[in-house]
Structure 1
Amino acid sequence: MSRMLHHEPEDDPAYQAGHSARERGASRLACPYGLHDMLRHSLWLAGWHDADMELSA
């Protein structure tokens, strides 16, 4: 079953978890969502990547 986003990606718990994981120094490989849950996997990585860019600035 597909899940539709009805809000900003930054408001999603998976995005926020990825963001805080990067702030704690976790690797991208620490993503707890497998490829079977591609939406949450992508949101977690997006949060991780955004935090990585913020830390690099």
Structure 2
Amino acid sequence: MPSRSGVPPPHGWGSSPADIYASFLAETTNRLHLTDEALTSWRPPKATRGRKAKA
């Protein structure tokens, strides 16, 4: 099976690393009920400045 990059897969893998990761990503997003847009639009929470107040 030719890979998406056009480079033959490494011996013994059967697929390129990109194809393996694409399959992993598709399975994981389906399992977690996420969309591609949800993944690309996600941003980490803003970092807070300074130290936390002592209790």
Q: Shorter-normalised TM-score: what interval? A: 0.3 to 0.5
Structure having the larger proportion of residues in helix: 1
Structure ID, larger Rg: 2
- So what's the TM-score if we normalise by structure 1? 0.33
User: Greater relative contact order (Cα 8 A, min sep 6): structure 1 or 2?
Assistant: 1
TM-score by length of 2: 0.34
